[in-house]
């Protein structure tokens, strides 16, 4: 029954703990990056990592990313992440996720989990039996449900902010938007854009998905290998990471890059390259924060409230406007500007925490 927990001191991180449980085969790491603004929320990734070192590298990078994302989205949450070393196709079991739940519980609420790559809502239901520090449960359980429509709504509002910034008009009607990936987020984003009068170019490696979305929105299907290079006003990557790199950048014919996919820049310097090309880039973790904003409402006192979620997700428009203002005034790329904004918000949070309250004075 007992989990073997080992703390790994890690500069810049509040807690990094590994867990081994020979009885269930669980091998996992939780990284709590920063809880200045609230408990650290981040998904539980299950992946066949080649080594503990690979898993550690990934969990540290992802946990830090969650801190920045939540800070700018004003979710009242900090950043963390967990990884399970294992193959999600062959190594899932009830006892594995119960052990993972006990591991999460041992941190006393400093880390709150959710589904992620390799884990599902069903897995979270099992984890919930061992800890209450879990979100993203099915709607019926009083939870916030599928995050994708919220991520798509945030992207849509983000695209509106980008249009205003790039063209001086927030009008969507008449604009051409190319969407790479018609999955959970892409299909809802396409609906918002079509309703607002945009012309859509659509691609997906799964033909039935792109056909469904094209039928529902009147969009034109484009070959997946060509979607990034379409002449358009907005290119919305909603599939994979690292799509903007040395090979793709010279071939872009868009004025704006704004979509849901995570880590779309291969390296940070590709953000500066986009700026030099006069392509306005909406930093991924700002524009795709709708899902985490929705989950954060679930954790608030009083429980989940859809109207409140909508208002906060729509605020992604303002977050992007702030980022673009910093980018312009300091002549830096928008991805650098968003990191600066996140660090400023965290610094303010730390200063507030250090300030004695009236009761303590």
Report the residue number, 14 or 204, with the smaller CB distance to ligand NAD: 204
40 bridge partner residues: 78, 111
Instruction: Output the six-digit token pair for 122.
Output: 């069903």
Q: Residue 219 interacts with ligand NAD (CB under 6 A)? A: no
Q: Residue 157 interacts with ligand NAD (CB under 6 A)? A: no
Return the residues of window 43-82 that contact ligand NAD according to CB under 6 A.
none
Among 78, 186, 219, 283, binds ligand NAD (CB under 6 A): 186
Q: Residue 42 interacts with ligand NAD (CB under 6 A)? A: no
Binding segment for ligand NAD among 88-96, 121-129, 200-208, 343-351 (CB under 6 A)? 200-208
Which residue's CB atom is positioned nearest to ligand NAD?
A: 183
Q: Residue 260 interacts with ligand NAD (CB under 6 A)? A: yes
Q: Residue 224 interacts with ligand NAD (CB under 6 A)? A: yes
Least distance CB 107 / ligand NAD (angstroms):
24
Whether residue 23 contacts residue 1, with contact meaning beta carbons closer than 8 Å, is answered with: yes
Binding segment for ligand NAD among 74-82, 161-169, 260-268, 342-350 (CB under 6 A)? 260-268
Q: Residue 205 interacts with ligand NAD (CB under 6 A)? A: yes
Least distance CB 179 / ligand NAD (angstroms):
9
How far lies 49's CA from each of 13, 58, 263, 289, in Å? 21, 9, 19, 26
Helices 52-73 and 290-299: crossing angle, nearest 10°? 80
Q: Residue 239 interacts with ligand NAD (CB under 6 A)? A: yes
Q: Specify the pairing of strand 111-112 against strand 40-41.
A: parallel
Binding segment for ligand NAD among 5-13, 87-95, 202-210, 273-281 (CB under 6 A)? 202-210
Q: Residue 184 interacts with ligand NAD (CB under 6 A)? A: yes
Among 191, 262, 310, 315, binds ligand NAD (CB under 6 A): 262
Q: Residue 190 interacts with ligand NAD (CB under 6 A)? A: no
Among 86, 101, 145, 181, binds ligand NAD (CB under 6 A): 181
Report the residue number, 226 or 344, with the smaller CB distance to ligand NAD: 226
Q: Residue 88 interacts with ligand NAD (CB under 6 A)? A: no
Least distance CB 285 / ligand NAD (angstroms):
8
Instruction: Output the six-digit token pair for 224.
Output: 């997946």
What's the farthest any 2 CA atoms get from each other in the chain?
Answer: 66
Q: Is the dihedral of CA 225, 228, 232, 235 positive or negative?
A: positive
C-alpha triplet 336, 180, 74: angle, nearest 5°: 40
Q: Residue 257 interacts with ligand NAD (CB under 6 A)? A: no
Label residue 167 exposed, middle or buried (CB < 10 Å: 0-12, 13-18, 19+): middle
Q: Residue 209 interacts with ligand NAD (CB under 6 A)? A: yes
Return the residues of window 117-156 that contact ligand NAD according to CB under 6 A.
147-148, 151
Whether residue 245 contacts residue 270, with contact meaning beta carbons closer than 8 Å, is answered with: yes
Q: Which residues are catalytic?
A: 81
Whether residue 280 contacts residue 328, with contact meaning beta carbons closer than 8 Å, is answered with: no
How far apart CA 33 and CA 169 sit, in angstroms, is: 39
How far apart CA 101 and CA 18 sit, in angstroms, is: 14
Exposure string for 255-270, b = 16+ CB within 10 A, e = fewer = bbbbbbbeebbbeeeb
Binding positions for ligand NAD, rule: CB under 6 A: 147-148, 151, 180-186, 203-206, 209, 224, 238-240, 260-262, 288, 291
């Amino acid at each position: 029954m007992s989990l073997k927990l080992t703390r790994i001191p890690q500069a810049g991180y509040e807690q990094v703990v590994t867990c081994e449980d020979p009885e269930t085969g669980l091998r996992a790491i939780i990284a709590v990056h920063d809880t200045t603004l609230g408990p650290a929320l981040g998904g539980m990734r299950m992946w066949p990592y080649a080594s503990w070192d690979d898993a550690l590298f990934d969990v540290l990078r992802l946990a830090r990313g969650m801190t920045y994302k939540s800070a700018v989205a004003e979710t009242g949450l900090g950043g963390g992440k967990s990884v399970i070393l294992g193959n999600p196709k062959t190594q899932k079991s009830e006892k594995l996720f119960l052990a993972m739940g006990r591991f999460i519980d041992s941190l006393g609420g400093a880390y709150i989990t959710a589904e992620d790559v390799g884990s599902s809502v069903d897995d979270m239901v099992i984890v919930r039996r061992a800890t209450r520090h879990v979100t993203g449960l099915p709607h019926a359980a009083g939870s916030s449900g599928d995050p994708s429509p919220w991520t798509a709504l945030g992207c849509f509002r983000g695209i509106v902010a980008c249009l205003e910034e790039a063209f001086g008009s927030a009008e969507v009607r008449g604009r051409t938007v190319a969407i790479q990936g018609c999955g959970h987020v892409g299909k809802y984003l396409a609906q918002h854009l079509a309703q607002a009068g945009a012309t859509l170019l659509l691609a997906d490696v799964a033909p039935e998905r792109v056909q469904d979305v094209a039928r529902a929105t009147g969009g034109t299907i484009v070959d997946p290998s060509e979607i990034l290079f379409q002449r358009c006003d907005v290119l919305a990557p909603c599939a994979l990471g690292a799509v903007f790199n040395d090979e793709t950048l010279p071939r872009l014919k868009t004025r704006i890059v704004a979509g849901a996919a995570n880590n779309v820049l291969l390296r940070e310097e590709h953000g500066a390259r986009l700026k030099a090309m006069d392509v306005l880039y909406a930093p991924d973790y700002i524009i795709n924060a709708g899902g985490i904003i929705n989950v954060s409402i679930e954790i608030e006192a009083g429980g989940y409230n859809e109207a409140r979620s909508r208002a906060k997700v729509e605020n992604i428009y303002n977050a992007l406007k702030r980022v673009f203002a910093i980018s312009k005034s300091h002549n830096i790329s928008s991805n650098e500007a968003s990191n600066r904004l996140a660090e400023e918000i965290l610094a303010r949070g730390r200063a507030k925490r250090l300030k004695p309250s009236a009761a303590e004075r």
